[in-house]
Homo-oligomer: A and B are copies of this chain.
Amino acid sequence: MGPGDAELLTLKAMRVLRAAPVVAYPAPLKGSGLARQIVESVLSDGLYRIEIAMRMRFNLDRTSAQTAYDRGAAAIATHLAAGRDVAVLCEGDPLFFGSFAYILARLGDRFPVEIVPGVNSIAACSAVLQQPFALLNDRVVIIPASRPAAEIEDALVKAESTAILKVGRHWDKVVRVLDRLDLRRQAWHIERASQTGQQVRSLATVEATVERSSTYFSMILVYRRGERWLR
């Protein structure tokens, strides 16, 4: 479903979604969740659809999520077995850190699956920053902020561009690594790219010593290439 802006849906996603009598999506315990929100305007076309909200706690313990995917997959399987197509909604690209992997793992062997690739959040962040994330022979590393500082440092040293995902409570660790490598001036923190509440900050201007946290829907992009991308 893309990174959040409903206009970043593909024509294919739109067609598949409009034709499906059943839609399934991960959701928090209350409310509809981002994937469902993105397609609100598409699904409010007056056609009746069955909705399967796979409700889970979004936290580090994966038990709640696994149970929700188990139940969701069972409900989806019932509809598929009865001949009804099910569109499974997923933020960003379904196979790039996307929740669709869990449904695919449960049903991919038993039913025909069509996967519609989508715009990922790195593309959305790059567009906001108006900086090329990669070009020519660049090496790119994408690493969740939860990984050890040494791994993040190794990535930053070797890659022309690094995306540090899901910053959340790892903010301080990441900023310390950036300071050690003197890369703060080449780093940006982006929250909710293309969504309401989008926020961009240069790491150069953020106070180093202040304990900070950041939302889950955030990333830090680091460009070692500097101005060399110009030509």
> Which residues of A does B touch, CB under 8 Å?
2-3, 5-12, 14-15, 66, 93-98, 100-101, 104-105, 108, 113, 115-120, 122-124, 126-127, 130-144, 146-147, 151, 154-155, 158-159, 194, 229-231
In the bound complex, what is the Cα–Cα distance between A158 and B142 (angstroms)? Answer: 12
Asked whether, in the complex, the Cβ of A105 is within 8 Å of the Cβ of B230, the reply is: yes
Asked whether, in the complex, the Cβ of A101 is within 8 Å of the Cβ of B135, the reply is: yes
Asked whether, in the complex, the Cβ of A127 is within 8 Å of the Cβ of B138, the reply is: no
Q: Write 24 A-B pairs (CB below 8 A) sorted by A numbering.
A: A2-B10, A7-B10, A7-B12, A8-B10, A8-B11, A10-B119, A93-B119, A95-B127, A97-B138, A98-B135, A100-B132, A101-B135, A101-B229, A108-B130, A113-B130, A115-B126, A115-B127, A115-B130, A117-B119, A117-B123, A117-B194, A118-B123, A136-B144, A139-B144
In the assembled complex, how far is the CB of residue A120 from the closest CB belonging to chain B, in whole angstroms?
Answer: 7
Closest to A3 in B: B117
Closest to A145 in B: B137
With contact pairs A8-B10, A105-B230, A231-B66 given, residues A126 and B117 touching in the complex (Cβ less than 8 Å): yes
Asked whether, in the complex, the Cβ of B10 is within 8 Å of the Cβ of A9, the reply is: yes
Asked whether, in the complex, the Cβ of A117 is within 8 Å of the Cβ of B108, the reply is: no
Closest to A66 in B: B231
With contact pairs A142-B142, A144-B137, A146-B137 given, residues A131 and B11 touching in the complex (Cβ less than 8 Å): no
Asked whether, in the complex, the Cβ of B151 is within 8 Å of the Cβ of A139, the reply is: yes
Q: Knowing that A115-B127, A141-B159 touch, tell me 11 more A-B residue pairs with CB under 8 angstroms.
A: A95-B123, A96-B134, A97-B134, A98-B135, A104-B130, A117-B126, A118-B119, A120-B123, A137-B144, A139-B141, A139-B151
